[in-house]
């Protein structure tokens, strides 16, 4: 396995959206040896809990805990403290919770790190606009005027001003986020669909290659891998496309 492959595979975050730990473990077995990030979201976390996250860390995976916290600052601080104690590499909040809430997440991280110096500092990122949100829904249902891109950039700038490490957005917005917030600001981009694959509920999509060319730091891929007939081949094909980009 060469360094370039390792680096690119590390930018692929596989979404373990399963109803139980057994099914997630089957995928881990299938993908064994591919040095990708693993994402635990609400479905698996609410079913398998912190033990599953610890198991992933014991097996040496980088873990993104995608619980999208959105609550009053004090509650988010407590949540961030508990999440940091799990030893995850990345977790997120909603930027719509505001600057004080995002700063509270960082305060929770600091509190955990102060209480245990062997813990690592996770990347803390904020969701801008969900990749399932289309322009008309943003304007007419949610009631935010203007373009999706402008709303995403506003949230990204707010996130940066709160001191967080980056954002979750569509890869369609990655280049603009890099322009607005700098290249060290992390862009984590779901809504990735290899050419010809089913878009499902995602509205703002790009292919793996387009996302990398647009400057995404990480791409998040769920169903195009978990729902594939041959998940390992699907993941390898995505990494190949990322490498060629």
Ligand X SMILES: O=c1ccn([C@@H]2O[C@H](COP(=O)(O)O)[C@@H](O)[C@H]2O)c(=O)[nH]1
Size of the site for ligand X (CB under 6 A): 16
238 forms part of the interface with ligand X (CB under 6 A): no
Answer yes or no: is 66 a known binding residue. Answer: yes
221 forms part of the interface with ligand X (CB under 6 A): yes
Answer yes or no: is 75 a known binding residue. Answer: yes
Answer yes or no: is 133 a known binding residue. Answer: no
Answer yes or no: is 176 a known binding residue. Answer: no
To the query of whether residue 68 is one of the catalytic residues in this protein, the response is yes
For residues 26 and 114, which CB has a smaller minimum distance to ligand X in the complex? 26
Q: Which of 36, 220, 238, 239 binds ligand X (CB under 6 A)?
A: 220
Answer yes or no: is 201 a known binding residue. Answer: no
To the query of whether residue 103 is one of the catalytic residues in this protein, the response is no
Q: Which of 130, 152, 206, 239 binds ligand X (CB under 6 A)?
A: 130
Q: Which of 191, 218, 239, 242 binds ligand X (CB under 6 A)?
A: 191
Q: Which of 9, 12, 14, 15 binds ligand X (CB under 6 A)?
A: 15
Q: Distance (Å, rounded) from C-alpha 238 to C-alpha 9?
A: 9
Q: Distance (Å, rounded) from C-alpha 185 to C-alpha 189?
A: 13
Q: Which of 202, 207, 214, 217 binds ligand X (CB under 6 A)?
A: 202
Q: Distance (Å, rounded) from C-alpha 53 to C-alpha 12?
A: 18
For residues 95 and 101, which CB has a smaller minimum distance to ligand X in the complex? 95
97 forms part of the interface with ligand X (CB under 6 A): no
Binding footprint of ligand X on the chain (CB under 6 A)? 15, 17, 41, 127, 130-131, 168, 190-191, 200, 202, 220-224
Among all residues, which ones are annotated catalytic?
Answer: 66, 68, 71
């Amino acid at each position: 396995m060469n360094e370039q492959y390792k680096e690119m595979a590390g930018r692929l975050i596989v979404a373990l959206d399963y109803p139980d730990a057994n099914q997630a473990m089957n995928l881990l077995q299938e993908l064994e040896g591919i040095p990708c990030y693993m994402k635990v979201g609400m479905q698996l976390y609410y079913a398998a809990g912190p033990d599953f996250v610890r198991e992933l860390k014991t097996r040496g995976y980088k873990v993104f805990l995608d619980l999208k916290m959105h609550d009053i600052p004090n509650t988010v601080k407590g949540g961030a403290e508990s999440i940091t104690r799990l030893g995850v590499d990345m977790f997120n909040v909603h930027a719509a919770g505001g600057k004080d809430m995002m700063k509270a997440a960082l305060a929770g991280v600091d509190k955990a790190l102060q209480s245990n110096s062997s813990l690592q500092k996770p990347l803390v990122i904020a969701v801008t606009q969900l990749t399932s949100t289309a322009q008309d829904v943003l304007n007419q249902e949610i009631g935010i005027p203007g373009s999706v891109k402008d709303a995403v950039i506003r949230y990204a700038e707010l996130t940066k001003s709160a001191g967080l490490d980056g954002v979750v957005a569509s890869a369609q917005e990655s280049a603009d986020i890099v322009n607005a917030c700098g290249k060290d600001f992390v862009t984590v981009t779901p809504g990735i669909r290899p050419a010809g694959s089913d878009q499902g509920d995602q509205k703002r999509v790009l292919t793996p290659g387009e996302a990398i060319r647009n400057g995404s730091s990480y791409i998040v891929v769920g169903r195009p891998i978990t729902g594939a007939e041959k998940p390992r081949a699907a993941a390898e094909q995505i990494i190949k496309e990322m490498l060629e980009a």
